[in-house]
Structure 1
Amino acid sequence: MPPATKSIGQVLKVLKEDFPDISISKIRFLEGEGLISPERAPSGYRRYSDHDVKRLHYILDVQKNHYLPLKVIRENLEAMDAGEQPPAAAPSQPTLPTPVAEGLPPALPPQRPAIAGKRTIHITRKELLQISGLTEVTLSELEQHGLVTPRRGTAYYGRDALTIAVAARKLAAYGMDARHLRAIKQVAEREAALIDQAVQAHSRRRSTPRQSVAEVMQLVMYAHAALLRSSIRS
């Protein structure tokens, strides 16, 4: 008896337990990229084996927790197919900053660079769409407002672009679109000017390590989150 296989709907149900944002179009996108190769039933419908499901789970996991580009994922899968172990990736979950996503902790953390331990990511526009779940129309609108941009001098997007894209998709459920995010960007630009002014003044008085910018930025983020939360509560 041939091994049991699953329909794409059944696969979707299994994967949704760990990846709530998974969709049929995302599974078909991964198939189109050649990362999975489900069988075709005589009726023409896709049939997925347990191996296909495990492969999908691996792909979605390293995208969600490590944000590996498809090129690296493909190389890892080829190594696995050859019986080798893919290189271990250090956990790197690019979530929204803690003060915004989870609220302030009881006390400020020890002074340290705000981006310590964050691994640089480089993803294409196509990967940005696939990982964030944004539509082409929404991403284009964000780009038109200067909210999501590639790294300077490249065609690749970084961690900030990905964070904004994910936040934009989730905020859309609350009726907030690129125009609202543009207002937030204007506030951020004013805060950036204040940070630059403070660091420049501090540098003139004493020798200041590069870490000062990250340190002041982190403090401003905490203050901003606390003031925002206070305003909402009142």
Structure 2
Amino acid sequence: MSAAHKHRASALLSIGQVRAQLREEFPDLTHSKLHFLEAEGLIEPVRTASGYRKYSAADVDRILLVLRAQRDLFWPLKVIKEHLDELDRDGSPVRSLSVRALSEGERRPAVRLSRRELAREARVSAAFVTEMEEYGFLVKDAPVYDQQDLDAVTACRDLAEHGLQPRHLSLVRSSAQRQAHLIQSVLTPSSHRDDSVAEGEAEDARASMSASLTSLHTALLTSALNRSH
């Protein structure tokens, strides 16, 4: 084996190494998710003589683009694949699209906060966090809080400045829970399939429907406010 060939081989990563490399930003990344991205034609890891998958730096860039676009921009896989195909045709590096795509949305690293840190980051009192727990906006005595929790506290803080306290917002919470149940009811049939493709399809559909429901809610709210003038 030549020195150049040995260098290329050593630069390739196993599926476990890819997960370890991306764990800080995507702690929930699974083998099944990576297999699904491969099945959808978004990545093409090479196979060793023994059949093991090996991922290049370019594969990792593509994985990052897909995961960030899903998380930050709510892009369905169809849209992501179109952009990747466009890059492939142009011969542009995937990393360049990652930068452009993320500049259109807000890239946020994984957030893990204690209760005290949550209050500090959201600029609210501990009593306000307790009130949000009491009205079901936060899980009571959770060991850690994530980005969604921080977003919820920040939004409730802003609404409180206009006189809308958490106790006034139960209808919003109930609506979100009903929408989540609605999405899950659509996904339930495919969840019985125990394979990576089913898992990936469900995750993509979940993100797509969530984005569509958010857009629908915004449109209906704006329309209702306009009619009330």
TM range (shorter): 0.3 to 0.5
Which structure carries more helix by proportion? 2
Scaled by the length of structure 1, the TM-score of the pair is 0.46
Give the TM-score, by structure 2 length. Answer: 0.47
